[in-house]
Amino acid sequence: MLWFLVWTVLVLGAAGVFFLLGRDLWRKSKALVRELTTATDRLTEIGDRLADLDQATRDQAASPGNSRNTPGVQVRDVRSQGSSPRQQR
C-alpha cells in the first residue's frame, strides 16, 4: 500500500511539472509568434519604403533636367524609428 501511494505522488508530481513546463512553453511560443509578426510587418514597411525610394530615384533620373528638387517626389528616410543602438567595441 505504501508503494502505491509513493508512485501515485510521483506520477501526480510529474504530471504537475509537465503541465507547468507545457504552459510556459505555450506562453513563450505565443510571444515568439507575436514578435515575429511585428518583425515581418516592419520588414514589409521597410521594403515598401525602399521600393518608393527606388521608384523616386528612377523617376528623378528619367526626368528632363535631372534636378535634385523634383516637385511632388517625397524622399523619406528608410531607417527604422526604433532601431537599437550599435554596440561599442
Total number of domains constituting the chain: 1
Residue 47's domain comprises 23-55
Q: Is residue 44 part of a domain?
A: yes
3-state secondary structure the chain: CHHHHHHHHHHHHHHHHHHHHHHHHHHHHHHHHHHHHHHHHHHHHHHHHHHHHHHHHHHHHHCCCCCCCCCCCCCCCCCCCCCCCCCCC
Residue 28 domain-assigned (yes or no): yes
Has residue 67 been placed in a domain? no
Report pLDDT digits (tens) over 44-74. Answer: 999 999 999 999 898 888 876 655 555 555 5
Tens digit of each residue's pLDDT (9 = 90 or more) over 33-42: 999 999 999 9
Q: Is residue 50 part of a domain?
A: yes
Does any domain span residue 46? yes
**Residue 89 domain-assigned (yes or no):** no
